[in-house]
A and B are shown apart, each in its own frame.
Chain A
Amino acid sequence: MVILREGVCPGINEEFIKALQSEDIKTGVALVAVRRVLLAQYTAFPVSGADLYEELLSSTAILSTGNPSLDKLLDSGLYTGEITELAGSPGSGKSQVCFSVAVNISHQLKQTVFYIDTKGGMCANRLLQMLQSKTPNMEEQMEALQKIKVLRVFDVFSLLACLQNLRSNGLQKASVGGGSVKALMVDSVSAVLSSMLGGKQNEGMSLLMQVAGELKMIAKDFNIAVLVTNHVTKDGNGHLKAGLGQSWSHAPRTRVLLQRIEGAETSSLRTATLTKSSRQACHLVEGFDLCHWSEERRTSISGKRKLEERSKP
């Protein structure tokens, strides 16, 4: 048994010994015990693969988007515990897809949705329009609208404050109220981050990673499906790719690129291309109509084949 004295090992000086003695730690064994407790507190427990799988099966939910083509692309829908990203050029329908998904989750699945709007594009009238096409019952429409909670933040620090507040008490408060929160949408992430990246600014990357970290923690800890939208840039060959760079590309688990169809008969047709997925082969393409969200398109396209004309109902 080694009594702790000054000089027994580097780092132990007079002050240190006094501090330890005030806590009643006099021997080397006690110090080692303290070390073990600290390690146990801060290390992660190893979990067996089978247990992880069981946990995943019981806690993950798949939220259907309401659109069969998009569901097919996303392997049945939005997975909780993950971030899914929608990228597209202006007017490609990212916000509309977010609205449709929010309406589907609040009305069909009867779950609460949090919608963080950073561009002012949230339009409750449009949500009402979509609900009216699903059900003529006013009560149901109002109930569904009440399940969609909107937060409006316009810069990255407010976004971080908002996410940290959701993580600490916002989400629990909302689920106590009635109806569990199953989805969080951020429209859009690039609007607040793109002005902070680049040039001589040295904080942009850190803020980007903090936002990614907060979203991932919210998704994992609360079993929520997170849907974010992003803008697009052109890469070296002139092809479209999602914005915010390489670092952000690791945050979402699934990435979808939305595009208009050039010269299409109706202006509401869009194609969705899967650009990153851990469950499906990449570059799958599905076409869908923003106006007829719940209907399946007769044909789905892959590769470069053109869409067949859809006969009018």
Chain B
Amino acid sequence: MYRTVPSLPLAPSMKVKLINAGFQVASVLTDMRPLQLCKEAGISQEEAVEVLQVLRDDGRPHQQRAATESLTALDLLHQEQAPGSIVTFCSALDDALGGSVPVGKTTEICGAPDVGKTHLCMQLAVDVQIPVCFGGLGGKALYIDTEGSFLHCTLLAEDTEQRQALEELTVEKILSNLFLVRCHDYVELLAEVYLLPCFLSEHPEVQLVVIDSIAFPFRHDFEDLSQRTRLLNGLAQQLIQLATQHSLAVVLTNQMTTRVSNGQSKLVPALGESWGHAATQRLILHWEGLRRLASLYKSPSQMEATIQYQITVQGFRDAPDEPRTTPDSSAVSSPSGNHSKHPRMEDLS
């Protein structure tokens, strides 16, 4: 492997010293002892040891493999066709997503308040635990809560009514397979994501990571917007790396903001234009009158689609009528519900 010194993951000041000492290629450095390097490059002994450590890590089989071994698209296809998926129990949405929330990719769910983002996330956190014999992944979920909206454990309990036939899946078991982390600001969130590789190696059965929401800590008290963009880009790359290396699905929720252009205002996903490039797939949940619609806005493998869904006592489900975007054919039930901001369709319990 031919590596030049400027391309190594070392501090810039270190690289300047090494280049000034005449080291252009990494291969010259690998055979050196720390004392030798220390004398020739004019750096301290600790720094020399650090440089050689980085070189050794770089040349390690695992790192080398990531950079050198390529999969053919055929191998990737076999990987993608592996069994198990995280369904949402709303068949129209599953169809639009291409079967399920994809593993190995990041999915972003944007929406206005109380359109069902947290609900969908909680549903997914339960659905990932569906045993393999029933077509699920049989895995655990990590839920990173930044808004403090993970309060409704009762909602999870109601989901199990669907699975009464499965005696093994009790409420306690479902809740015990869910890891909950509460982050209060963006520093805690960044630290948590930074520590995730360790956590995931200790808990390899985690197959879903939900961050609800990623917008909240970054929208308040952030003066330097360009720093915010950089941090978000870095975060997005770390998340996709986790998703790919540990084969898990990453779901992020985002809020909406208003963009005013040409005297018109439009609701667009928050966190800026460049954040739009970050997630692999983007799902926008929005209201149209009293109906809830989900639009797949960006996906590498699926066409754009808009489907209707509803939130019932049991959770995220298909809307009762045909999913059409014309406003006349919607069926609206009487609004009820004490803690919701918009009418929710409820079965009479």
Contacts and interface: CB of A to CB of B under 8 A. Distances in A.
Nearest to B227: A199
In the complex, which of the residues A115, A119, A160, A233 has the most CB atoms of chain B within 10 Å of its own CB atom? Answer: A119
A133 to B, nearest CB: 13
A1 B81 CA distance: 79
Interface residues of A, number: 66
A222 interface: no
Interface stretch (A23-31, A33-41, A120-128): A120-128
A124 B77 contact: yes
Nearest to B306: A267
Contacts of A121: 105, 280, 300
Contact of A165 (B68, B277, B301): B68
A151 B244 CA distance: 12
A145 B74 contact: yes
Contacts of A114: 70
Given A124-B76, A124-B77, A199 B230 contact: yes
A38 B165 CA distance: 83
B234 interface: yes
A155 B297 contact: no
A146 B67 contact: no
Interface string A85-112: 0000111000110010000000000000
A164 B4 contact: yes
Contact of B7 (A122, A149, A161, A197): A161
Contacts of A195: 230-231, 233-234, 237
In the complex, which of the residues A126, A148, A152, A233 has the most CB atoms of chain B within 10 Å of its own CB atom? Answer: A152
Contact of B73 (A145, A161, A197): A145
A231 B229 CA distance: 13
A259 interface: no
Contact of A188 (B12, B105, B277, B304): B277
Interface string A143-169: 001111111111101101110110111
Contact of A164 (B1, B71, B244): B1
Interface string B76-94: 1101110000000000000
Given A118-B237, A125-B80, A148-B73, A231 B277 contact: yes
Interface string A187-213: 010111011111100110011001000
Contact of A233 (B66, B72, B238, B273): B273
Contact of B244 (A120, A207, A291): A120
Task: Give the dominant DSSP class at A's interface.
Answer: mixed
A170 B7 contact: no
B6 A210 contact: yes
B276 interface: yes
Interface string B82-114: 000000000000000010000011100000000
Contact of B240 (A90, A154, A161, A196): A154
Contacts of A120: 104-106, 240, 243-244, 280
Contact of B67 (A129, A151, A196): A151
B2 interface: yes
Contacts of A169: 1-2
A142 interface: yes
Interface residues of B, number: 57
A268 interface: yes
A36 B172 CA distance: 82
Interface string A165-190: 10111100000000000000000101
B303 interface: yes
A149 B74 CA distance: 9
A243 B274 CA distance: 10
A149 B6 contact: no
B175 interface: no
Nearest to A103: B73
B240 A146 contact: no
Contact of A194 (B1, B74, B233, B240): B233
Interface in B24-79: 58, 63, 66-74, 76-77, 79
B2 A167 contact: yes
A90 to B, nearest CB: 3
Contacts of A233: 273-274
A291 B304 CA distance: 12
Given A151-B67, A170-B68, A233-B273, A146 B73 contact: yes
In the complex, which of the residues B2, B237, B273, B277 has the most CB atoms of chain A within 10 Å of its own CB atom? Answer: B277
Given A91-B282, A124-B80, A194 B229 contact: yes
A199 B225 CA distance: 10
B285 to A, nearest CB: 16
Contact of A126 (B1, B277, B300, B304): B300
A95 B81 CA distance: 21
A267 B325 CA distance: 15
Contacts of B177: none
12 contacts: A95-B300, A145-B72, A145-B77, A148-B73, A152-B66, A161-B63, A162-B68, A170-B68, A191-B236, A195-B237, A199-B224, A233-B273
Interface of B: 1-4, 6-9, 12, 58, 63, 66-74, 76-77, 79-81, 98, 104-106, 224, 226-227, 229-231, 233-234, 236-238, 240-241, 243-244, 273-274, 276-278, 280, 282, 297-298, 300-301, 303-304
For the complex of A and B, the 6 pairs showing the least CB-CB separation, nearest first, are A90-B276, A168-B2, A160-B7, A124-B76, A124-B77, A154-B241
Given A123-B301, A125-B77, A152-B244, 18 more contacts: A120-B106, A122-B76, A122-B300, A125-B81, A142-B74, A145-B77, A146-B74, A148-B72, A149-B72, A151-B69, A161-B1, A167-B2, A168-B1, A170-B68, A170-B70, A190-B277, A192-B237, A243-B274
Interface of A: 89-91, 95-96, 99, 114-115, 118-129, 142, 145-155, 157-158, 160-162, 164-165, 167-170, 188, 190-192, 194-199, 202-203, 206-207, 210, 231-234, 243, 267-268, 291
